[in-house]
Amino acid sequence: MRKINKIIIHCSATKEGQNFTTDDIDRWHKKRGFAKIGYHFVIYLDGSVHKGRDISEVGAHVQGQNSNSIGICYIGGLDVNGKSKDTRTDAQKTSLVKLVAELKAQFPNTTILGHRDYSPDLNGNGIIEPWEWMKDCPCFDVSKEL
Ligand SMILES: [Zn+2]
């Protein structure tokens, strides 16, 4: 097993209330040139957890952070107009907490952050501030919740 020290949370950047599957993401990621779906886990609107890549495999979800991380994606992240929004259903929130707890038990000493927290610290003050986010993904403050 490779060394895991980070769990990184994503959204699928799809509109609120719309269902997508690991097969859809697999297709999108192949179109972007990845071998297959880049995330290790995907959480559907109903809270069900689906496997993408095996956790033993390096993912493809945050540039420069893939080798030691696990990527989890919830379906959603945009409102009906396509603007960033925390669209997680209660079922998704519950499943995310449970999944992260299971992974933390398996891989102690992991840092849990959102994709946007890995944006470059442009002014070098040690804090990734909202204006520095390259994208809003996953559209909520992971450090406050997980
Ligand atoms: Zn992301």
Q: Which of 16-25, 69-78, 109-118, 125-134 has the lowest mean pLDDT?
A: 125-134
Q: Is 43 left (phi over 0), alpha (psi -120 to 50) or beta?
A: beta
Say if residues 77 and 11 touch (Cβ distance below 8 Å).
yes
Residues serving a catalytic function are 10, 39, 115, 135, 137
Residue-wise pLDDT tens digits, 88-132: 999 999 999 999 999 999 999 999 999 999 998 889 999 888 888
CA of 61 relative to ligand 1 center, distance in Å: 6
Cβ of 30: how many Cβ atoms within 10 Å?
13
Spell out the domains of the chain, with CATH numbers in brackets. Answer: 6-145 (3.40.80.10)
**70 forms bridges with which residues in the sheet?**
7
CA of 140 relative to ligand 1 center, distance in Å: 12
Q: What is the number of helices (H) and of strands (E) in the chain?
A: 3, 7
CA atoms within a 13 Å half-sphere pointing along the CA-CB vector of 134:
11
